[in-house]
Structure 1
Amino acid sequence: MSVLERIESPRDLADLSYEQLHALAEEIRDVLVDSVSRTGGHLGPNLGVVELTLALHRVFESPLDSIVFDTGHQSYVHKLVTGRKDFSELRRRGGLSGYPSRAESEHDIVENSHASTAVSWASGIARGHTLRDERDRTAVAVIGDGALTGGMAWEALNSLAAGGDRIVVVVNDNGRSYAPTIGGLARKLDGIRTDRRYEQFLGWGKRTFENRGRFRSFTYNTVMHGKRALKGLLTEQSMFEDLGLKYIGPIDGHDQRHLEQALRQARDFGGPVLVHVLTVKGRGYSPAEQDVADRFHAVGRIHPETGLPIEPSRFGWTKVFADEMLKAGRERDDLVALTAAMLAPVGLQPFADEFPDRVIDVGIAEQHAVTSAAGLAYAGLHPVFAVYATFLNRAFDQVLMDVALHRAGVTFMLDRAGVTGDDGASHNGMWDMALLRHVPGLRLAAPRDEPTLRSAFRDAIDVDDAPTVVRYPKGALGEPLPSLRSVEDIDVLAEHGSGAPDVVVLGLGPMAATAVEVAGKLAADGRSVLAASATWVHPVPEGLLEIVGDAELVVTIEDGLVDAGLGQSWEEFARLAGRHTRWSHHGVPREFLHHASRAQILEQVGLDASAIADTAQELLA
Structure 2
Amino acid sequence: MPEALLPTIHGPRDLKKLAPDQLPQLASEIRHEICEQVSKTGGHLAPNLGVVELTIALHYVFDFGHDRLLFDVGHQCYPHKLLTGRLGLLDKLRQKDGMSGFPEPKESEFDLFSVGHAGTAISTAVGMARGDDVLAGGKGESDRSVVSLIGDASIVNGLALEGLNNAGTLHRQFLTVLNDNGMSISQPQGAMAGYFDRVRVSPTYHDLKRRGKEVLDRIPGGSILEEVYHRGGEMLKAMISDGHMFEHFGHICIGPVDGHDFPTLIPTLAEIKDIDRPVLLHVKTIKGKGYEFAEGDATKFHSPKPFKREGCRVEIDSGGRSFTAAYADAMLDVMANDEKVYAVTAAMGPGTGVDKLIEKFPERTLDTGICESHAMDMCAGLAKSGLKPFFAVYSTFSQRALDQVFQEVALQGLPVRVCMDRAGYVGGDGAVHHGFMDIAMFRTFPDVVLMAASDEDSLRGALAFMRDHDAGASFLRYPRANVAEQPVEENTTPFELGKAVCIQPAKTDKPDLAILAYGTTVIDARSALPMLREHELDVAIYDARFAKPVDIALVTTLLEAGTPILTVEDHLVDGGFGSAVLEAANAASLDTRLIHRHGMPATWVGPDSRTNQLAGANLDAAGIAQRARSVIQSAKSLRATMPGVSVERG
- The TM-score normalised by the length of structure 2 is 0.90
Structure 1 equivalent of residue 113 of structure 2 = 110
Superposed, 1:114-125 pairs within 5 Å as: 114-125=117-128
> CA separation of 1:548/1:347 partners in 2, compared to 1, >3 Å: closer, same or farther?
farther
What does 1:167-316 correspond to in 2, within 5 Å? Answer: 167-196=174-203, 198-210=205-217, 212=219, 216=224, 236-237=243-244, 239-291=245-297, 294-304=299-309, 305-306=311-312, 308-316=314-322
Q: Corresponding residue for 1:534?
A: 544
Deviates more, 1:307-316 or 1:599-608: 307-316
Superposed counterparts of 1:471-510, under 5 Å: 471-478=477-484, 479-482=486-489, 489-510=499-520
For structure 2, list consecutive stretches of 5 or more residues without a partner in the other structure: 634-650
Q: Which amino acid aligns with 1:513?
A: I
AA aligned to 1:285 is Y
Which residue pairs with 2:48 in the alignment?
46
- The structure-2 alpha-carbon separation of the partners of 1:252 and 1:484, relative to structure 1 and needing over 3 Å to count, comes to closer
Kindly state the Cα deviation for residue 124 of structure 1 after the two structures are TM-superposed. 0.3
* Change beyond 3 A, Cα 1:236–1:301: farther
Helix, strand or coil: the match of 1:593?
coil
1:204-255: per-residue Cα shift (whole Å, max 9, x none)? 23443356476746999xx95689x999x95752x22221111111111011
User: Do the aligned residues in 1 keep the contact of 2:352 with 2:394 (CA within 8 Å)?
Assistant: yes
Match of 2:401 among 376, 395, 414: 395
Q: Given that residues 489 and 534 in structure 1 are in contact (C-alpha distance below 8 angstroms), is that contact kept between their aligned partners in structure 2?
A: yes
Shift of 1:146: 0.7
Give 1:278 deviation, angstroms.
0.6
1:432–1:217 distance in 2 versus 1, CA, 3 Å: same
From 574, 595, 603, give the equivalent of 1:563: 574
Q: Could you report, residue by residue, the CA deviation over 1:484-503 in whole angstroms, capped at 9, with x for unpaired residues?
A: 99898221111343223221
- 1:619 Cα deviation from its structure 2 partner: 3.5
Task: Note if contact 2:242-2:253 (Cα within 8 Å) is conserved in structure 1.
Answer: no
Q: Secondary structure at the match of 1:383?
A: strand
Change (3 A) 1:314 1:115: same
Q: Any conservation in 2 of the 1:445–1:469 contact (CA below 8 Å)?
A: yes
**Structure 2 residue aligned with 1:546, among 529, 554, 557?**
557
Aligned position for 1:366: 372
Unmatched runs of 5 consecutive residues or more in structure 1:
none
Alpha-carbon deviation of 1:613?
2.4
Distance 1:440 1:406 in 2: 11
Distance 2:224 2:364 in 1: 47
The match for 1:78 is 80
Per-residue CA deviations over 1:467-486 (Å, capped at 9, x if unaligned) read 11111001211121116998
Shift of 1:359: 1.9
SS in 2 for 1:275: strand
Q: 1:144 aligns with which of 151, 158, 174?
A: 151
Deviations 1:308-366 (A, max 9, x none): 33522311111111112111212222111211111121111122112212222111111
More off after superposition, 539-548 vs 443-452: 539-548
Q: Is the contact made by 1:484 and 1:493 (CA closer than 8 Å) also made in structure 2?
A: no
Which residue type is aligned with residue 499 of structure 1?
D
Q: 2:533 aligns with which of 511, 523, 537?
A: 523
In 2, distance between residues paired with 1:498 and 1:279? 66
CA distance in structure 1 between the aligned counterparts of 2:24 and 2:413, rounded to whole angstroms: 58
1:437 aligns with 2:440: no
Q: Deviations over 1:261-315 (max 9, x none)?
A: 22222221022111111100011111011116x1111011112444633522311
TM-score by length of 1: 0.94
CA distance in 2, matches of 1:594, 1:354: 38
Q: Name the structure 2 match of 1:587.
A: 599
Letter of the 1:538 counterpart: K
**Paired residue secondary structure (1:386):** strand
CA distance in 2, matches of 1:471, 1:313: 21
Q: Which stretch has the larger CA shift, 464-473 or 524-533?
A: 524-533
Structure 1 equivalent of residue 640 of structure 2: none
Return the offset for 1:578: 3.7
Instruction: State the secondary structure of the residue aligned to 1:559.
Output: strand
> Residue by residue, what CA displacement relative to the aligned partner does 1:354-411 show, whole Å, maximum 9, x if unpaired?
2212222111111111111111111111111100000001111111111000011110
Q: Counterpart in 1 of 2:466?
A: 460
Moved more, 49-58 or 516-525: 516-525
Does residue 1:602 correspond to 2:598, yes or no?
no
Q: Which amino acid aligns with 1:466?
A: G
Aligned mates of 2:514, 2:521 — CA distance in 1: 14
Which letter maps to 1:393?
Q
- Does the aligned pair in 2 maintain the 1:446–1:509 contact within 8 Å? yes
Over the aligned positions, Cα root-mean-square deviation in angstroms equals: 2.4
Quote how far apart the aligned CAs of 1:615 are.
Answer: 2.9
Tell me the distance in 2 between the aligned counterparts of 1:266 and 1:281: 25
Separation in 2, partners of 1:611, 1:449: 21
Q: How does 1:405-416 map to 2 (within 5 A)?
A: 405-416=411-422
| 1:54-85 alpha-carbon deviations (Å, 9 max, x no partner) | 11111111121010111111110001110111
Distance in 1 between residues matched to 2:216 and 2:38, nearest whole Å: 37
Q: What does residue 56 of structure 1 align with?
A: 58
Counterparts of 1:51 and 1:564, CA distance in 2:
46
Contact 1:505/1:519, CA 8 A, preserved across alignment: no
Q: 3-state SS of the aligned residue for 1:489?
A: coil
SS of corresponding position for 1:620: helix
SS in 1 for 2:350: coil
Range moving further from structure 2, 263-272 or 305-314? 305-314
Distance 1:525 1:554 in 2: 18
Paired with 2:170 and 2:313, the residues of 1 have a C-alpha distance of 47
**1:248–1:262 contact (8 Å) kept in structure 2:** no
Say if 1:202 and 1:249 are closer, same or farther in 2 by CA, change over 3 A. Answer: same
